[in-house]
Amino acid sequence: MTAKRAIGRHESLADKVHRHRGLLLVISIPIVLIALVLLLMPGTSTSVSVIEYTMKKHEGGSNSRGPKNYAVIFDAGSSGSRVHVYCFDQNLDLVPLENELELFLQLKPGLSAYPNDPRQSANSLVSLLDKAEASVPRELRPKTPVRVGATAGLRALGHQASENILQAVRELLKDRSRLKTEANAVTVLDGAQEGSYQWVTINYLLRTLGKPYSDTVGVVDLGGGSVQMAYAIPEEDAATAPKPLEGEDSYVKEMYLKGRKYFLYVHSYLHYGLLAARAEILKVSEDSNNPCIVTGFAGTYKYGGKAFKAAAAPSGASLDECRRVAINALKVNDSLCTHMKCTFGGVWNGGGGGGQKKMFVASFFFDRAAEAGFVDPKQPVAEVRPLDFEKAANKACNMRMEEGKSKFPRVEEDNLPYLCLDLVYQYTLLVDGFGLKPSQTITLVKKVKYGDYAVEAAWPLGSAIEAVSSP
Ligand SMILES: O=c1[nH]cnc2c1ncn2[C@@H]1O[C@H](COP(=O)(O)OP(=O)(O)O)[C@@H](O)[C@H]1O
Ligand SMILES: [Ca+2]
């Protein structure tokens, strides 16, 4: 009986198809054509990578968690290691741990300072781990994710040496900690992840997530080893984004946050962090004097296990000549731009737009501006213009080493010989590299106000949000 009915229905369906074949043909031709065009279009499938997380609402039901969710994130940076502990409520709002919105601890040097001793490298995290774990209530520890994200220092070490260190860190966590380690909890972040987490951090703290892309802010993060830029772009621009250069991460990440889809342009430049750039700039002058070194200084600069001659010319430092060397080191003019518009080194600039109107610029940009005296280190943010870096550079390039302490009382002694270089590089990176106008206002950021508190403007919060919102 059942079989008979099925056959009967099958026959009548076939009859109908036969009867309406003309109409079906008319409908299907444009559909096939559209599918063909989409298939052949350059774009999204090759240049966009989808970030794997959504900021879920924790409103109960099967996905419900406890009232408080902790996350412990290690930032294994090139110049130091840091740990952040955050606590979120069910709405994914940050709630205070004791009297701050995060526990933040740091130490120097970073994991990459022990390239040949993975155990010692991992053990450098012990004091941070113990204090971080102690700040999480005992009963929540097995449910609390811990992640270790290494950045430019381990990236530059190469695969085998960095993998050995990461393995030693995994063992340390297993032996010493009761926190939850997910698969891939201990990794070298790729530059695009680092930049997109930083963008999530800042926009989360500014409460712009969930708003249209043009209400979000763009970010620049100048680390020791690498520098990242990230900002949201319109969907049309994402669809026509160029393919990345060989071996590079894709230019666009697709992200779902607070119910909205964002297309994030993100790029990380390895070797263009501030401490790495010093080496690049000193390499240009090889064994001779360098016009970026403060007048009266002669010494060596050590970076990444190598030593570079760092000696002032007898005639002293020169802002103009140092600018030329910095532009040269950035390869602004001598690399092929095969995209519509490039930043430097042949890298696509993302096309600009509303998501880049306001730029929040972090890490060494804030720190050097504070040391140079044009930003108050006690304030979480400061509005400046690229030309403030040039003005300070002019002063630094025209002083002698002996005058350093009185002209720049806040500069750390080890940084003094490189103050002209650092400030010139920062100006050059913003203006010649990223194409900002010298007079454009940018926000230097150390922390972002969140309610009555201020939270570090660093990528680990973006990673924590992902960790507590994944299933
Ligand atoms: O959590 C943070 N809060 C404030 N500043 C930070 C934080 N993390 C990194 N920085 C800044 O970034 C600088 C160095 O960057 P880092 O060592 O992370 O290099 P990398 O990002 O190239 O690996 C530090 O000297 C500091 O100014
Ligand atoms: Ca960093």
Parse the chain into domains and list their residue ranges: 69-188+456-469, 191-440
Nearest to 371 by CA among 408, 418, 414: 408
pTM: 0.87
- Residues contacting 31, CB < 8 A, separation 6+: none
334: helix, strand or coil: coil
Angle between helices 419-428 and 386-397 (to 10 degrees): 150
Here the tokens at position 429 are 């990176």
Here the tokens at position 180 are 């939850």
| CATH of the domain spanning 69-188+456-469 | 3.30.420.40
Same fold, 69-188+456-469 and 191-440: yes
Q: Is 226 annotated as a binding residue?
A: yes
* pLDDT: which is higher, 334 or 150: 150
Q: Is 325 annotated as a binding residue?
A: no
413-468 pLDDT, tens digit per residue, is 999 999 999 999 999 999 999 999 999 999 999 999 999 999 999 999 999 999 99
Greatest pairwise CA separation for the chain in angstroms: 103
d(CA 161, CA 276): 19
Q: Which of 194, 371, 390, 456 is catalytic?
A: 194
d(CA 317, CA 421): 9
- What pLDDT does residue 22 have? 63
23: helix, strand or coil: helix
Which amino acid does the sequence have at 317? A
Q: With a threshold of 0.90, tell me whether the complex ipTM lies above it.
A: yes
Judge whether 194 counts as a catalytic residue.
yes
Report, at the CATH architecture level, how domain 191-440 is classified. 2-Layer Sandwich (3.30)
**Closest-lying ligand to the alpha carbon of 151?**
1
Residue nearest atom 5 of ligand 1, based on CA coordinates: 363
**Cβ of residue 218 lying under 6 Å from some atom of ligand 1:** no
The dihedral through the CA atoms of 243, 248, 250, 251 has a sign that is: negative
Average pLDDT, the chain: 89
Going from the Cα of 45 to the center of ligand 1, the distance in angstroms, rounded, reads 33
Neighbour-count burial of 132, counting CB atoms closer than 10 A to its CB (0-12 exposed, 13-18 middle, 19+ buried): buried
